[in-house]
Amino acid sequence: MQLPIKVTVADITTLRVDAIVNAANESLLGGGGVDGAIHRAAGPALLEECRALGGCPTGEVRVTGGHDLPARWVIHTVGPVWKGGDAREPDLLVACYRRSIEAARELGATSLAFPAISTGVYGYPAADAARVAVGTVVGLLRADPRPEVIFCCFSDESAAHHRAAMEAL
């Protein structure tokens, strides 16, 4: 069975999908990396909506509108900070991907784009994170092939990790 998964190198804020995932921090009030880029592209109304949510614990999700983005929704998830692998980091990263897919399904989204969660300033090793991401998403889509998933990578290296993880399955 061909699963609806793609890997691309692009700016996630430009994708025409139903929902994008934001690798957010616990405050949801913007930050660096993809989080900052999404907040800048979505405009000030996103920050206002996020303020009303009161934050988000690691491994969970919160949903907002896309505001000035082409995406209708933003699914904010807080990935784990890498502490060497013994602080439940893989379990928390799995939860980010699983809960993001569940939220997209609840919204009725037919397409969803993920960044490489936790691989920037949170320091999760990129190849390991890609294996967790791809393994989790493939498992969920085998049971129910909705939504179409795009792993939107910030670099060719990140995309190569995701492609290698897909080939390994």
- DSSP track, 104-145: HHHHT-SEEEE--TT-STT---HHHHHHHHHHHHHHHHHH--
Catalytic, out of 35, 68, 128, 144: 35
Instruction: Classify the phi-psi angles of 43: left when phi > 0, otherwise alpha if psi is within -120 to 50, otherwise beta.
Output: left
Residue with tokens 């390994």: 168
The CA distance from 120 to 158, in Å, is: 11
Q: Assess whether 144 carries a catalytic annotation.
A: no
The CA distance from 68 to 123, in Å, is: 29
- DSSP track, 21-71: EEEE-TT-S--SHHHHHHHHHH-HHHHHHHHHHT---TT-EEEEE-TTSSS
Under a CB-based contact definition with an 8 Å cutoff, are residues 35 and 22 in contact? yes
For 44, the token pair is 């000030």
Catalytic positions, please? 35
